[in-house]
Structure formats: C-alpha cells, structure tokens
Amino acid sequence: NAGVTQTPKFRILKIGQSMTLQCAQDMNHNYMYWYRQDPGMGLKLIYYSVGAGITDKGEVPNGYNVSRSTTEDFPLRLELAAPSQTSVYFCASSYDTSGELFFGEGSRLTVL
C-alpha cells in the first residue's frame, strides 16, 4: 500500500517558471489537501478537494491552482514561480472530515 505519493521530492525553479507538483493516493479517499510548511510556521492549507471535480481555496491559495479530475490524483500547479513560494509542500488525504489526515513525504521547492 503506497498511501500518498508525491513527486518530485526536490525541485529548483527560476523566478517566473511554472511547474506541477504531483500527488496520488491509493486509499480511495474523497478528501485531498495541499499544505505548505515554512520554518516555525506550521502547515498552511493552500487548496483542498472534497471529491473528483470539486476544489476549494484554503488559507493561502494565491499563486497556485489545482484540479481534481480523478479520485486518486490532485496536482498542484505553480504558474509564475516567485521566491515567496520556496517551501516544503505536503499533499494529504482523508477518508472523512474527522481531521485524520494521511500525508505524503513532501516536495521541497526552491525558487531562485
């Protein structure tokens, strides 16, 4: 059982470049989330999805986009990378709204 799989694990971008962080889960969870983690700041919710075809903004959505065409996949798109988007990004999924999340291993993004 792979759980939540994120790719890539590391990436360096130049300012203005775009990229997509991939996230897939094999637990048939309806709920999926993208968080960013900055040092000492905990985790901030970027976007979330309650099921295929449904997405909604979290606390810090600016500069990001998401899509949810299947239950399994929830990619996060950065269109014009900025240094402020340097962070570690975590994808997570859950079976319900209990708060019990399963996290991926993270993707460390550096924008120079």
Confirm or reject binding of residue 24 to another protein (CB under 8 A). Answer: no
Nearer to another protein, 1 or 14 (CB): 1
Q: Which is nearer to another protein, 24 or 92 (CB)?
A: 92
Burial of 98 (0-12, 13-18, 19+ CB in 10 A): exposed
Residue 1 is a binding residue for another protein (CB under 8 A) = no
Minimum Å gap between C-beta 16 and another protein is: 29
Give the whole-angstrom CA distance, residue 112 versus residue 104.
Answer: 25
Interaction pattern, residues 33-72, with another protein; x per rule: CB under 8 A: --x----xxxxxx--x-x-------xx-------------
Give yes or no for a contact between 34 and 44, defined as CB atoms under 8 angstroms apart. no
Instruction: Confirm or reject binding of residue 76 to another protein (CB under 8 A).
Output: no
Residue 87 burial (10 A CB sphere; 0-12, 13-18, 19+): buried
